[in-house]
Amino acid sequence: MEEAVADCVAALGAVTDRDWTGVRAGRLEWSCRKTAAHIASDLIAYAGQLAGRARNAYVPFEITLEGSEDGLDAADNAGTLQVITTTGALLAAAVRTTPRAVRAFHPYPFRHANREGFAAMGVAGVLLHTHDIAEGMGIGYEPPAELASFVLTRIFPRVQPGPTPWRTLLWATGRGDLPGREPVTGWRWSNNPVLRSERLALEGVTPATAADLSLAGDGGHEWVGGAAADGTREGAGIMVRQYEEGVFHPEWGMYVLVRRDDDRAVGAMGFHGVPDGDGRVEIGYDLVVGARGHGYATEALRTLSRWALEQDGVRTVAAVVGQENVPSQKVVTRAGFTEVSRQEGQISYELRG
């Protein structure tokens, strides 16, 4: 967050002596001055959501630059950048001090976001609106690639990587073109989904989390036993490939199973892909050894299967279990699945809506 704001201030600080009020910000309808005020407004709003643990709506306050009711004729341009620096620092502090499991209200698409999601939204707002202002001012601007990548891999999971992260982010938000891709005329970012059962939070995995897990990282979680299971890492690798191919859908991907009482991960569960043309979707799961025997897999499978069958067009949730894997067979049967076939050492189960 601090790096994005510092980059913004460095770029726009070179043109503080020019008129921002009478110049349109790139492709926006706003002036450069209003767009700069909007950056600060977004940053303090996100900080407020996290600090206030907002649950069902935005915290009812707004920021106004000193000296004017609408904030557009108040502080000079340099003062506006100082406000952006200050509000950026407040969001960064809120992100650092908010516990990992906390989620606060944001309307799209699942009505909540965690600290990483708010950080990504804040960075996105800074980068994109700095670009808009720079375009209006007729100056060049390109942020560090890692900042654009941070945004893409957290809140743009369906956007296939392009030639560079920055060009990809500009295309994904209707601000640029990419060879072989249609122009974007409407867009929204997407925070990760979370489902809750009695003891668990099923946290949707972002492309960034999947990449870390696939490379033997912890994915931002504290795992029972110290590390994710091999099956989880393999599933994460599949997700990374889906993201790179542009076919990743966050709600039909992997979910990390996190105990709500101590915020420790016990395993992962997820879909092999989106439902097929017959409304069938396959599910798989994996628990770390130290978390087995407590009913977590059954609880999570009931929760995720029920959610899937509530989605439009989904008729069947399927699971395939090895004939030697008796514990897993018990999990699916306890979750209400019925055996439908056996072949080549595998048992196929289905749960129908």
Quick one: pLDDT band at residue 282, thresholds 50, 70, 90?
very high
Average pLDDT, the chain: 96
Average pLDDT over residues 144-155: 98
Give Cβ neighbours of residue 46 (< 8 Å, ≥ 6 apart).
Answer: 91, 94, 118, 121, 122
CA distance 113 to 106: 6
pLDDT band at 353 (very low <50, low <70, confident <90, very high): confident
pLDDT at position 71 is: 47
Q: What is the pLDDT of residue 74?
A: 60
| Span 206-215, pLDDT tens digits | 999 999 999 9
Residue 75 clears pLDDT 90, i.e. is over it: no
DSSP 8-class letter at 14: G
Do residues 200 and 303 make contact, with C-beta atoms less than 8 angstroms apart? yes
Which residues sit opposite 284 in a β-bridge? 270
H or E segment and range at residue 332 = helix 326-334
Output the pTM of the full model.
0.95
Q: Is the pLDDT of residue 70 over 90?
A: no
pLDDT digits (tens, 9 = 90+) for 218-259: 999 999 999 999 999 999 999 999 999 999 999 999 999 999
Mean per-residue pLDDT for 288-292? 97
- For the stretch 333-347, pLDDT in tens is 999 999 999 999 999
Query: CA 195, CA 305: separation in Å to the nearest integer?
Result: 11
CB atoms within 10 A of CB 105: 16
Instruction: Copy the structure tokens of residue 192.
Output: 């990760």
Amino acid, res. 217: G
Structural domain spans, the chain: 2-172, 194-352
Helix (H) or strand (E) holding 133: helix 115-137
pLDDT at 69: 45
Please name the amino acid found at residue 141.
Y
Name every residue whose Cβ is closer than 8 Å to that of residue 81 and which is 6 or more positions away in sequence. 8, 9, 12, 13, 16, 36
Residue with tokens 């906390």: 102
Q: Would you identify the CATH topology of the domain 2-172? A: Four Helix Bundle (Hemerythrin (Met), subunit A) (1.20.120)
Is CATH 3.40.630.30 correct for 194-352?
A: yes
Question: CATH topology of 2-172 equal to that of 194-352?
Answer: no
Q: Quick check: bond before 161 cis, omega within 30?
A: no
